[in-house]
Amino acid sequence: MAPQPPALSTLKLPKPSVPTAVTNTENTTATRTSPVPPPPPPPPVTVPPTTASKPTTNITPTPPISTTNPVPPPPTKPTLTTAQTQPQQPTLTPQPTSSVATTASQRPTTTQPTKTSTNPLLQQSPPRPPSVAVRQTSVSVEVGLKDSTGVAPTTTTSLSSTLEQEVDSFFYSVNEEMGDVVMRPSPLPANCNAFLKVWMLTKRRAWADVLQVTGELLQTTTSSYYPFYAALKMDVPLDTASFSQEENMETLQNEFTQLVKFRFTALLKLRRYPLLGRQVEELNLVKDVEGGGTGEEKLEQKNPWVPLGLKILAIQTLQYTDKSNRCIDKLHELKEHLVSQQRNVSPSSTKTSGVYWAGCIDNALANAFARKNDFRLALAALDDVQDCLEDAVNLLITEWLGDEEGNDKAEELRLRNVLLGSSKVEVLSRQGRILLQAGALQEASYLFQRASDEIVSVKEFVGNVGKRDSDGEEQGKTKLQILHDHLEKITLISQSPIQIYINEGLLHFAEKSFDKAMKIFGEALEMLKQQSQKFSPVQLQQEERDEKEVNYALFLSTSPIVSIIEKTIGLEGDENLLAHCQNNYALCSLYSCRMKEAVSLMESLVRINPTYFLTEALAFNLCTLYELGSDGAMSGKKKKVVQLIAKRFYLHDIGTESFRIN
């Protein structure tokens, strides 16, 4: 019989007695860490401020230590002090799902003007340097590292070289199959509309361009999206007469909702919190209780087309404005509104708003409580999410299949188990990391073991991904077969096996087994690297890669399974999982005195795909390691190279303080 864990409601949360690795207590939204005493012999390291992640659905590991201001180079015998990370901003994630992918950092909030787009990705390919072949961002290049400079042995550089030449040298490698390669960002595919281009700009993290383009699409009177924007801004019913017969209102409505989420996310990524607060207020998405009914009821009467997920997202943005105290109150108010609706519906009915969105609201509450370090309330909210999972999965399958008959019952049961197993892995992992951060190692270990027990069916499913054609035509396939194809692309499912690795690594880290933890985090990074190449294989030509990128964008923006998962299960994969894993790996390398190995791995990841791997956290950690391992002049040059790489690839969410340049 399995040992029973202590009741969470009566659990005493002791103060942490061991160093705590990155343990994000919110999903992709705000990250935080508890104070951590420095480890014995090894020197500690300062971890970068994490950027705001979308306040929505998943809790993942976050850097244990961080700082908000540039730190001067350490002395001869560097010793770093650990500073507690402050809550960050969203995923906005667009997570959740109705979440926006954002990350919150505690850098000075705003005085950054909107950047005017000079991004050549929007127009044409950037000029190619002479005598070198140019490969696109999605290309994966294996690089043989010889030292921490990242320059292949055949390349020689001097301090007098220009920074652009240094960047080219950083990416230079001798590859038997591909020849000499210098990576530069590719232009956006020409065969996609404005909406898909915005979606791809978000994936490339060109947030200043996202802010500019969404502003034009939403606020220009000749735009097809303007009637929706005007209806919300003026707080009047939607003028359906303004649409032509050729326009599909349902499609435009869905795209408008996504554009608003992208805009909120961009404002969070650029730390323009006051403007974010004004825009949420301007669109009347968060109503105060007035008169006899709630604000949500009044909004439903005027504009019933507004998705509830957009309202939940707008409420979550309050955490990053001067009205942060209203966030939890409004979420509870909305939940009570849904519960009252459910009471008015026949008990036998399954299609009620209360059932559909309860998980999403509870998940948002868990994130909000975690940001405030209210661990007991966060654990209780996640318990509520878990209690609803089985009913939510059944509701998802029922809505997807509809009245279709003759389905393979064995396959249907398998997909139910995959959805339920991956959802439980997500919730249990988040609960375990909260307990780990609070210092309750035994209880965290118990929950991590429960998560491992749920992964069997998911591992088998994820292991078979890619062995069948899931990008082919849907014509002739049953709804169950189409569901199988769609689930292969959902990050909540594909990340589940990696979550188990990270759980194990965090536990080893808390037990001060840094070598074991580093090995496990390295394996998790390798799995994430393989996933990053899934939709842009190296062997494909540029046109084929563009086609795959467009198809994936179409899937995420139009697939009904994405919206159904959001309103039933309410969970989403963590887009910041990679950054958390990188941070933990860097910490382990420091505590185990293997700095050079950590630098080599980080540099190799940047070479593979800067857009995917060069996060704010990695930039900060890498520049910190440069300071510890090189003299002032050399480390300064290396840090400027990293900064120029971020500029070359238009990574607007990396602040200048992350490069630690004095």
pLDDT in tens, 614-644: 999 899 989 999 998 888 889 899 999 999 9
> Tokens for 532?
């990053």
Residue 46: the pLDDT is 40
Q: What is the mean pLDDT of residues 303-315?
A: 88
What are the pLDDT digits (tens) for 382-392?
999 998 888 88
Residue 200 CA to residue 533 CA, distance in Å, equals 16
Q: What is the dihedral sign for C-alpha 179, 185, 191, 195?
A: positive
pLDDT surpasses 50 at 548: yes
How many helices (H) and strands (E) in the chain? Answer: 25, 2
d(CA 331, CA 348): 26
Position 364 scores a pLDDT of 93
Q: Please tell me the distance from the alpha carbon of residue 88 to that of residue 414, in angstroms, as a whole number.
A: 38
Confidence of residue 226 (pLDDT cuts 50, 70, 90): very high
Distance CA 26, CA 594 (A): 30
Residues 655 and 293: their CA atoms lie apart, in Å, by: 43
pLDDT at residue 551 greater than cutoff 50: yes
What pLDDT was estimated at residue 216? 95
- Quote the tokens at residue 178: 């591909």
| Largest Cα–Cα separation, the chain | 77
247 Cβ neighbours under 8 A, 6+ residues apart = 224
Give one DSSP letter per residue of 146-164, joined into a string. Answer: -STT---TT----TTS-HH
> Does the pLDDT of residue 142 top 50, yes or no?
no
Tokens of 344: 């008015």
DSSP for 21-65?
A: ----SSSBS-------PPPSSSPP-PPPPPPB--SSS-B----SS
Q: Is 50 exceeded by the pLDDT of residue 595?
A: yes
The top-scoring range by mean pLDDT among 134-138, 287-291, 533-537, 620-624 is 620-624
Rounded mean pLDDT, 120-136:
41
Token digits of residue 326: 């209203």
Domain spans in the chain, listed from the N-terminal domain onward? 194-530+545-579
DSSP E strand stretches across 268-410: none
In this prediction, what percent of the chain has a pLDDT beyond 70?
A: 65
- Mean pLDDT of the chain, nearest integer: 72
One-letter amino acid for residue 159 of the chain: L
Query: How confident is the model at residue 460, as a pLDDT?
Result: 77
Helices 409-437, 456-463: crossing angle, 10 deg rounding? 110
Q: How far apart are CA 70 and CA 560, in angstroms?
A: 44
Q: Which of 44-53, 173-182, 199-208 is predicted least confidently? A: 44-53
Residue 112, Cβ density class (10 Å: 0-12 exposed, 13-18 middle, ≥19 buried): middle
CB-neighbour burial class of residue 509 (10 A; exposed 0-12, middle 13-18, buried 19+): buried
Lowest mean pLDDT among 221-225, 332-336, 575-579: 575-579
Contacts of 442 (CB under 8 A, 6+ apart): none
Choose between 21 and 392: higher pLDDT.
392
Cβ contacts of 469-473, under 8 Å, gap ≥ 24 = 471/548, 471/551
Which pairing describes strands 133-135 and 181-183: parallel, antiparallel, or unpaired? parallel
pLDDT of residue 34 exceeding 70, the answer is no
pLDDT of residue 336: 84
Mean pLDDT of 235-254: 82
C-alpha distances (whole Å) from 66 to each of 71, 92, 158, 587 are 11, 20, 33, 11
d(CA 509, CA 166): 36
Question: Residue type at 190?
Answer: A
Highest mean pLDDT among 207-216, 323-332, 409-418: 207-216
d(CA 199, CA 259): 8
Range ranked top by mean pLDDT from 2-16, 104-118, 437-451, 541-555: 437-451
Mean pLDDT check: name the lowest of 5-9, 191-195, 282-286.
Answer: 5-9
